[in-house]
A and B are shown apart, each in its own frame.
Chain A
Amino acid sequence: MNPLTRFIFELQEISVLIWRSFVSLFTQPRYVGEWIKQMDLIGVGSLPIVLLTGFFTGGVLVLQTFPTLEYYSIQNEAGRSVATSLIRELGPVLSALMVSGRIGSAIAAELGSMVVSQQIDAMRAFGTDPNRKLVAPRLLALIFMLPLLTVAADIFGLIGGAMVANQLYNQEVSVFVNSARNGIQIADIIGGVVKPIFFGLVIGSVACHKGLSTTGGTVGVGKSTTNSVVIASIWVIIFDFFLSKALQYLLDMGRI
């Protein structure tokens, strides 16, 4: 199979996976317990790494931009600079990449192991639809939890930025906060929450597809896991570009 045919084939399979999972949310049986469990694992479980990432990203943004802003005597705009960068771009993308690494790999490895140890076959043999029981809860959890994680990362990024501005450059926290507040538009916040919804869908569907199509024993599980993280990360970055463009058009974002 040539790469283009393979790509179209995989795209079709992922689309079917998403559609079946979506439909299963509206029909019985619903595994609500599994939904909550996955939300806890994915959301609460990823909180520490996402918060750390956000905090230090905010800090390093101030560290790198403050001297330049100071050169142009607009250091009071440091808060605006960090807030817009974080909320529009870095918060959603970095959170998605961290979650892709932590959760995408875990999903692909778990489902892949279940495939090679025939647990998925057993599930089907006992009358359970693996899409309904395994894929839908994970997709749902990612779609719900990634925007929340992103908001948390944004807040911690602003805290990190304010701390660096205050401790290293002696800027009053109130100046940083006012600047950030003036710089953030409603459209930025909407865009910053809409993007992770799509990123969650991309990470979840790629990870589930790679896991469920695992072949070749334990070596295959390793391959699926790696492929899941790499492919989901690339798609997150590609999607980010097109989503940014679409949001700019729809929400009139990015004027300043």
Chain B
Amino acid sequence: MLDDEQEKPIMADGNEVITDFEEPINDRNRVAPVIEFRDVHLAFDDKVILDGVSFSIRRGETKLILGRSGGGKSTTIRLILGLLKPDSGQIFIDGEDITGYTEEDMMHVRQKIGMVFQEGALFDSISVYENVAYRLREQNVEEDEIEHEVRRMLRFVDLEDAIEKMPAELSGGMRRRVGIARALVGDPEIVLYDEPTAGLDPPTARTICELAIKLRDLQDVSSIFVTHEMNNVGYLSSEYAIINEQGEVVFEKEGERLCLINTEVIMLRDGKVIFNGTDEQLRKHRDPYIQNFVYGKN
């Protein structure tokens, strides 16, 4: 996981770039779902949270989950992590049925997943360095390797200067970025974002989305991005990241040169999937609820 024996190319901002994709694009692994929900139901007492939810995410794909508050978006993420168990249905991670897994069984599954929480969920009593190093410390990784990895991840989110700070000293946007750095330690195959831009000003929200785009396009990470903000949908489903000749990461809009096929949208309403498709299909959808959500009117 942290085997850095082979030298990797470095981007202008100091981040390593994955260029040596082992599997070709038409490999069966790339088509097989990394995450799959099959008819998942969940209710708390009489309140139905998820009602027959089914969807799948391929390797390297980002799924944006949209919906109003209380619609079951964050619950979906908690189910993937095994923090909640469904009443019925099946959940597969990397082809493995985790539905009946115990807390102990889930530990190895969680190694593959990075999670970015709504407010960052940083551990208040330890520094930024220790927060980002948390997962590695749990795995008894050596200190030198921990420091290298922590600095690499903090460089990725452009927060290396904050390494010694305590979470209380950080702004909301910085907390989310540290949360992203912490989630990326150990190079997880899947990253889950639970409303990472909620309550942030537009430029900071844009920065968070750019980080998600970089991960998707340059690191080949599969992800779920829970949000209720259409701005995020705009950024994530119409822009892509590439490295230019100077080795800098640049963001370009899809168009005639390239059409993004690795980002799709799911919309949840009262625990049901009412839409699953591309952002263009979403914007053209005639359902009044979707129209209201997308354009703020019927």
Contacts and interface: CB of A to CB of B under 8 A. Distances in A.
Interface of A: 29, 113, 117-119, 121-129
A38 B103 CA distance: 25
B119 A117 contact: yes
B17 interface: no
A126 B83 contact: no
B121 A126 contact: no
A125 B118 CA distance: 14
In this complex, the member of A113, A119, A122 whose beta carbon has the largest number of chain B beta carbons within 10 angstroms is A122
A117 B117 CA distance: 9
Interface residues of B, number: 21
Contacts of A128: 138
27 contacts: A113-B124, A117-B119, A118-B117, A118-B118, A118-B119, A119-B123, A119-B124, A121-B78, A121-B81, A121-B117, A121-B121, A122-B115, A122-B121, A122-B123, A123-B123, A124-B110, A125-B81, A125-B83, A125-B110, A125-B113, A126-B134, A126-B138, A127-B110, A127-B111, A127-B135, A128-B138, A129-B103
A124 B138 contact: no
A121 B117 CA distance: 9
Interface string B100-144: 000100010011010101110111100000000011001010000
B121 A124 contact: no
Contact of A125 (B115, B119, B123, B140): B115
Nearest to B113: A125
- Nearest 8 pairs between A and B by C-beta? A118-B121, A122-B121, A125-B115, A127-B107, A118-B117, A126-B135, A127-B110, A125-B81
Nearest to A20: B103
Given A118-B121, A122-B117, A125-B110, 20 more contacts: A113-B124, A117-B121, A118-B119, A119-B121, A119-B122, A121-B81, A122-B121, A122-B123, A124-B81, A124-B103, A124-B110, A126-B110, A126-B134, A126-B135, A126-B182, A127-B107, A127-B111, A127-B135, A127-B138, A128-B138
A127 B83 CA distance: 11
B182 to A, nearest CB: 8
A228 to B, nearest CB: 20
A115 to B, nearest CB: 11
A129 B119 CA distance: 21
Nearest to B81: A125
Contacts of A125: 81, 83, 110, 113, 115
A165 B136 CA distance: 60
Contacts of B121: 117-119, 121-122
Contacts of A119: 121-124
Contacts of B117: 118, 121-122
A126 B110 CA distance: 7
Contacts of B138: 29, 126-128
Nearest to A122: B121
Contacts of A126: 110, 134-135, 138, 182
Contacts of B123: 119, 122-123
Contacts of B140: 29
A250 to B, nearest CB: 38
Nearest to B45: A1
Nearest to B131: A122
Interface string B159-201: 0000000000000000000000010000000000000000000
Contacts of B119: 117-118
A80 to B, nearest CB: 47
